């Protein structure tokens, strides 16, 4: 008996239909259904009375008996099947009941068995409705009871989040962030304050797909029954009969941006075989615009994901991208510039297909939407488990301290690295932002209400911290400026190209004796660059600046446009935009002034017209690239440059030229210890000079021989 059982089990397992065969069967069923509808339409148009076949009537009786509710009254049980306003009863082998059509019209079931009728169109619609019912139960089984219903909405709400749940699909249909305004309402006293709606039922959809060996049941097709357990918990439930239940439980805790989502079930092994190992999941979202500047918001929107036990990665922010992976994923997030929808799995997703497609700017949808994002995946599943899967949705702002705290709240066993959805640059720049810039910014924000003032104070504090490096740079510039006449004298003394090597040696000797170097001012500036770049990545991602006004700026997280136009400028519109930002313009003017001051302090600067032109060209390039960035960033660079100019003039005022020259003269008397680099450089120069002399000697010798 054991061997027979194994043989039978093995035969069934080997002969179960493949996914391709299942897809082929589904396609054939859909084609047959479409053909039946077409024939019904043709029958109506021709005035032909359609009737149920004997096989269809037999199948209908079987379905009513299998999926209907049994009544034990009388000698023989009666079965009644109710579905979407239609009720069919099987009693003593006979069918009776009524059929409800779209629009509310109702007809007697006996009408479909008649071969004559006064209203052919109505009769054929009743037959088509019964065939549709028959097809649904053939394909969906007991789940067909939930293909029709009324879509109702329940609301879960706390201090920061409003979540709407739809009975159609049992899913979250809308999320509103109560503490954040829509960009249209920034500083507009006459408008009604409208909070940010992350998405609604038309732009976001997700579902679970239950599988048998021959069927697939997608929860987005079904109408669930909402069961509110308390103020914070709702269960969307399907009562499949016979003790089998399938549901999705949602829990919203007080003051939090996450929604717990648990897939719960009872006796589902009666419906789904226990040897089905996977539960499929699909999620898609048409990402809405929430900021005034579409171009920059699109650049900062992407699909992010985290490998289970590994790092965080993302699809391309620009253009279209897709990824098909077999690795297990801990979470997947649809990330906007300042807001995100992130789904965290308690276990892990078994691989995923991820897609991100930008909505073309010429499309009408581009006015309100940025990208289409989607994921399809699967999870480990058993129909015998009461809790089949557990998740946490995070719907909220990309706020660093908040995301950092949710790592421990949602997943105490594994660091989720949710803060990685905030692009803070390469590791060194991210380290500066997370350990210095963000804590300082939050500390100042705890007692200073104006973020424009906070940026000003931060700029001053950063300048004070960097003062030792800046001091070395200014000191080097002063020495180079005082050496400018001596450098000019050497340029005049050795004007020929053949004397370039000698001139270079004399210049190096002059710098060494004076304790100066053309490069000595560059190193301090280079050491300051990480902070400047860190600020460049910080401001565009700083949600605290969103909607904050300062002076003429209405939103420090967006460009402060003073002039706008509709025309597109070839080649630069993608960077420059179609406006002029005032703070960016001020930053550019200040940068040009600083460049002029800096060039005047460089010894021999007049002898390098190409370098001088390049130095003045750089601020204009910054104008093109920074014009579309956050006003807060341009404001920071503007203030930083102003302080730098003031420091430069202050240093020139307080540093005495006589004292500096005396110091340089004293320094020239001290014995100089050559560095290894300088020794190698001088040796290379001597070798090159000897090589040039040998070449000239040979050239002279060759000419002399030719004359003879």
Among residues 371, 344, 345, the alpha carbon closest in space to that of 357 is found at 371
Judged against a pLDDT cut of 80, whether residue 46 lies above it is answered with no
Task: Say how far apart CA 432 and CA 437 lie, in whole Å.
Answer: 6
Please report, for residues 595, 641, 643, 653, the alpha-carbon distance to residue 602 in angstroms, rounded to integers and kept in the order given: 11, 18, 20, 17
Secondary structure in 3-state letters for 154-189: EEEECCCEEEEEECECCEEEEEEEEEEECHHHCCCC
Please check the confidence at residue 165 and state whether its pLDDT lies above 50. Answer: yes
* Maximum CA extent, the chain: 140
The mean pLDDT value of the chain amounts to 81
| Alpha carbon distance, N-terminus to C-terminus of the chain | 118
Could you say which DSSP state residue 366 is in?
A: G
Q: What is the DSSP letter of 277?
A: -
Tens-digit pLDDT profile for residues 297-333: 888 899 999 999 899 999 998 889 999 999 999 999 9
- Strand residue runs (E) in 554-617: 561-564, 579-581
CATH 2.70.98.90 positions along the chain are: 153-423
> Does the pLDDT value for residue 397 go beyond 80?
yes
pLDDT band at 5 (very low <50, low <70, confident <90, very high): low
173: confidence class by pLDDT, cuts 50, 70, 90: very high
Q: Which helix (H) or strand (E) holds 370?
A: strand 369-380
The three-state secondary structure class of 598 is helix
pLDDT in tens, 569-601: 666 666 677 778 899 899 989 988 888 877 766
- 514, pLDDT greater than 80: no
Query: Quick one: CATH architecture of 153-423?
Result: Distorted Sandwich (2.70)
Half-sphere exposure of 51 (CA within 13 A, CB side): 9
Q: Alpha carbon 418 to chain centroid distance? A: 12
Instruction: Please say if the pLDDT value at position 121 is more than 90.
Output: no
Per-residue pLDDT tens over the stretch 466-490: 777 766 666 666 666 666 667 777 7
Q: Which of 104, 156, 154, 108 is nearest to 130 (CA)?
A: 108
**Burial of 583 per CB tally in 10 Å (0-12, 13-18, 19+):** buried
Q: Are 245 and 255 in contact (CB under 8 A)?
A: no
DSSP 3-state assignment of 29?
Answer: helix
DSSP class of 273: -
| Residue 606 reports pLDDT greater than 60 | no
DSSP string, 412-467: TTS---GGGGS---SHHHHHHIIIIIHHHHHHHHTT---HHHHHHHHHHHHHHHTH
Residue 639 CB-density burial (10 A; 0-12 exposed, 13-18 middle, 19+ buried)? buried
Distance CA 606, CA 150 (A): 81
Helix, strand, or coil here: 241?
Answer: strand
- pTM here is 0.78
- Per-residue pLDDT reduced to its tens digit, 263-274: 999 999 988 999
**Helix (H), strand (E) at residue 333:** strand 321-335
Distances 371 to 198, 316, 505, 575 between C-alpha atoms, Å: 14, 12, 61, 19
Q: How far is residue 624's CA from residue 631's CA, in Å, rounded to a whole number?
A: 14
β-bridge partners, 279: 379
d(CA 69, CA 183): 54
């Amino acid at each position: 008996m054991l061997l027979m059982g194994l043989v039978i089990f093995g035969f069934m397992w080997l002969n179960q239909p493949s996914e391709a065969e299942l897809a082929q069967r589904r396609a054939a069923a859909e084609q047959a259904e479409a053909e039946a509808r077409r024939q019904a339409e043709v029958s109506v148009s021709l005035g032909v009375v359609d009737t149920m076949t004997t096989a269809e009537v037999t199948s209908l009786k079987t379905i009513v008996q299998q999926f209907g509710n049994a009544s034990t009254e009388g000698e023989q049980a009666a079965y009644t099947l109710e579905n979407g306003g239609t009720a069919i009863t099987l009693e003593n082998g006979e069918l009776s009941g009524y059929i409800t059509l779209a629009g509310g019209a109702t007809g007697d079931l006996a009408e479909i068995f008649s071969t004559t009728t006064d209203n052919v169109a109505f009769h054929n619609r009743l037959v088509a409705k019964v065939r549709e019912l028959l097809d649904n139960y053939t394909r969906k089984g007991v789940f067909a009871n939930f293909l029709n219903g009324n879509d109702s909405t329940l609301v879960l709400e706390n201090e920061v989040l409003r979540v709407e749940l739809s009975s159609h699909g049992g899913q979250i249909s809308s999320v509103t962030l109560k503490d954040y305004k829509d960009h249209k309402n920034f500083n507009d006293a006459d408008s009604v304050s409208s909070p940010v709606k992350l998405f609604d039922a038309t732009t976001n959809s997700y579902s679970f797909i239950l599988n048998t060996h021959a069927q697939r049941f997608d929860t987005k097709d079904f109408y669930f029954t909402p069961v509110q357990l308390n103020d914070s918990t709702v269960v969307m439930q399907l009562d499949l009969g016979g003790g089998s239940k399938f549901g999705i439980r949602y829990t919203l805790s007080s003051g939090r941006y996450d929604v717990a989502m648990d897939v719960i079930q009872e006796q589902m092994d009666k419906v789904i075989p226990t040897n089905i190992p996977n539960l499929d999941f699909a999620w898609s979202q048409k990402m809405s615009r929430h900021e005034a500047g579409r171009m920059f918001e699109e650049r900062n929107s992407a699909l992010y994901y985290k490998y289970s036990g590994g790092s965080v990665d993302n699809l391309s922010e620009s253009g279209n991208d897709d990824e098909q992976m077999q690795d297990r994923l801990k979470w997947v997030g649809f990330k906007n510039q300042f807001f995100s929808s992130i789904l965290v799995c308690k276990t892990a997703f078994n691989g995923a297909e991820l897609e991100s497609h930008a909505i073309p700017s010429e499309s009408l949808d581009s006015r309100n939407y940025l990208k289409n994002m989607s994921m399809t995946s699967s999870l480990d599943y058993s129909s015998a488990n009461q809790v089949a899967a557990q998740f946490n949705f995070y719907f909220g702002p990309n706020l660093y301290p908040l995301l950092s705290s949710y790592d421990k709240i949602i997943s105490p066993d594994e660091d989720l690295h949710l803060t990685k959805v905030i692009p803070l640059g390469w590791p060194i720049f991210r380290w500066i932002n997370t350990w210095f810039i963000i804590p300082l910014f939050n500390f100042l924000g705890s007692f200073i209400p104006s973020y424009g003032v906070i940026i000003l104070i931060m700029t001053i504090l950063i300048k004070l911290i960097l003062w030792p490096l800046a001091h070395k740079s200014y000191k080097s510039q002063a020495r180079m400026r005082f050496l400018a006449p001596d450098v000019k004298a050497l340029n005049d003394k050795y004007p020929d190209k053949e004397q370039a090597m000698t001139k270079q040696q004399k210049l190096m000797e002059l710098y060494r004796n004076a304790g100066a170097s053309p490069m000595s001012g560059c190193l301090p500036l280079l050491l300051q660059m990480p902070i400047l770049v860190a600020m460049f990545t910080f401001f565009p991602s700083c949600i605290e600046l969103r909607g904050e006004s300062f002076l003429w700026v209405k939103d420090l997280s967006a460009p402060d446009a003073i002039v706008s136009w509709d025309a597109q400028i070839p080649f630069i519109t993608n960077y420059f935009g179609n406006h002029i930002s005032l703070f960016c313009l001020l930053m550019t003017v200040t940068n040009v002034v600083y460049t002029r001051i800096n060039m005047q302090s460089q010894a021999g600067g007049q002898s390098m017209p190409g370098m001088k032109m390049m130095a003045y060209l750089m601020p204009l390039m910054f104008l093109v690239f920074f014009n579309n960035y956050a006003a807060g960033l341009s404001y920071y660079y503007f203030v930083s440059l102003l302080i730098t100019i003031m420091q430069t003039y202050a240093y020139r005022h307080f540093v005495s030229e006589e004292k500096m020259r005396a110091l340089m003269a004293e320094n020239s008397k001290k014995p100089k210890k050559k560095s290894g680099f300088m020794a190698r450089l001088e040796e290379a120069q001597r070798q090159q000079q000897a090589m040039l002399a040998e070449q000239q000697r040979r050239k002279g010798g060759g000419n002399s021989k030719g004359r003879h």
